[in-house]
Each structure stands twice: as structure tokens, then as C-alpha cells.
Amino acid sequence: MRRAFVAGLTGGIASGKSLALGEFRRSGARVFSADEAAHRLLRESPPVARAVSRAFSDAVAANGSIDRRKLALRAFASPRDRRRLENILHPPILQALRREISRARGGLLVCDVPLLFEKRLASLFDATILLCSARASRLSRLQRLRSMSRSEALSRMKAQWPDRRKRLLADVVIENRGGKAAFLRTIRSYGRAMTLIAASNH
């Protein structure tokens, strides 16, 4: 069996990536989340956890676990700290992503990679999908659903390339602006289309 059709899903924070990835999964696609891989590394990889604890000791809880909220606040406070965290986490995340892609056989694999274009990973995928949502909507979601302050939300948003830059690189651009139901219908449509492409390649 030939390898799967592999789609790279990206977009700014709070643009709907988790919602879209969940819908792709419900539609039968296999999925990979870079954020979930990072969380697993912090929980299950002692070398990674030790490296993060040494670099960001103020993010270590009393029980020795890493407080992800404190870690994010520290990392996004400055570009230098963000690069330090990326240098620890990104190599094993990329290794896990490459492993997932190499093992996928048949059908559709959708990989949620927030920094897909920033880290020049587009060549790993058969197609790239960019989710776009209005800046005000994203800011509102971060404050309402993730309990972020306005300054914290803005610092997260500024850490990623603006949509106008990523639009020039993406194969597919999906607008998340017309309500949840319409957005999910669009996701399902693209899922069906990519599954058909995968089937035609066998």
C-alpha cells in the first residue's frame, strides 16, 4: 500500500485548528497535532522535561511538574526565551512528525503544525491548508475561552506570521468567518476531496 495523502494544517492561534483537526478525525482521517506532541514530551520525556526545567525553573510546580501556563507566559515574554523553548521542543516534535508521516499508509493524514511556514516545513506535505480568522475574533476567543489577558493574547498572536504572508504560501485557504456549522461543512468537503485524491493515487 502506498503512503497516505499528507496535508499540513496551519493558521494563527485561535483560528480554529483544533476544531478543524477534530472534524477531519471524525471524518475518518488520521491526525497529528504538534501541540499535543509537545504536551506529551513535557509529560513523558524525562530529557525534555529536565531541559525545560533547567531553562525555565520558574515554570516548575511544587510537585516537580511543568506548569504549561507559566511556561507559555515566560516563553512569550521575549523572543529570546521563545527561541530557547523552541530549541528544546522543536527537534523531537519534528522527529515525531516525520515518523508519523513515514508510517502513514493509504487514506488521509492531516497534521496540525502551527509554525508550518515559519519553520519551512511545507515540503513535508502533499498540500498545505491555511485557516484564517479575523484578528478581533481570535483575540476574543483567546480572552474568553483560554482566559488570557489582552496583552498575553496579543503577544501570542505576534509570535506568528500574519495571515497575509502565509496566504502567499498555502495551497488552500479556508476562511473561518461564517459560523461553526459552515466552517465544519467546509472542512468535511476538503476532507472528502483529499481522501478521493489519496484513493486515486493507489
Q: What is the CATH number of the domain that holds 99?
A: 3.40.50.300
pLDDT digits (tens, 9 = 90+) for 114-159: 999 999 999 999 999 999 999 999 999 999 988 888 988 888 898 8
> Per the domain annotation, does 144 fall within a domain?
yes
Number of domains in the chain: 1
Average pLDDT, the chain: 92
pTM: 0.92
| Nearest by Cα to 194 from 31, 35, 33, 34 | 31
| Nearest by Cα to 95 from 31, 43, 169, 38 | 38
Q: What is the pLDDT of residue 147?
A: 86
C-alpha cell at 114: 502551527
| Nearest by Cα to 49 from 80, 85, 74 | 85
> Per the domain annotation, does 39 fall within a domain?
yes
* Domain region containing 51: 5-197
> Per the domain annotation, does 24 fall within a domain?
yes
pLDDT band, residue 65 (cuts 50/70/90): confident
CB atoms < 10 A from the CB of 96, how many? 17
C-alpha to C-alpha distance for 202 and 70, rounded to whole angstroms:
47
C-alpha to C-alpha distance for 59 and 19, rounded to whole angstroms:
28
pLDDT band, residue 109 (cuts 50/70/90): very high
> Per the domain annotation, does 66 fall within a domain?
yes
pLDDT digits (tens, 9 = 90+) for 27-55: 999 999 999 999 999 999 999 999 999 99
> Per the domain annotation, does 35 fall within a domain?
yes
Rg for the chain (alpha carbons), in Å? 17
Count CA atoms within 13 Å of residue 10 on its CB side: 25
pLDDT digits (tens, 9 = 90+) for 155-169: 889 889 999 999 999
> Per the domain annotation, does 19 fall within a domain?
yes
> Per the domain annotation, does 202 fall within a domain?
no
> Per the domain annotation, does 12 fall within a domain?
yes
**pLDDT for residue 94 is more than 70:** yes
Q: What is the DSSP string of 49-78?
A: HHHHHHHTGGGB-TTS-B-HHHHHHHHTT-
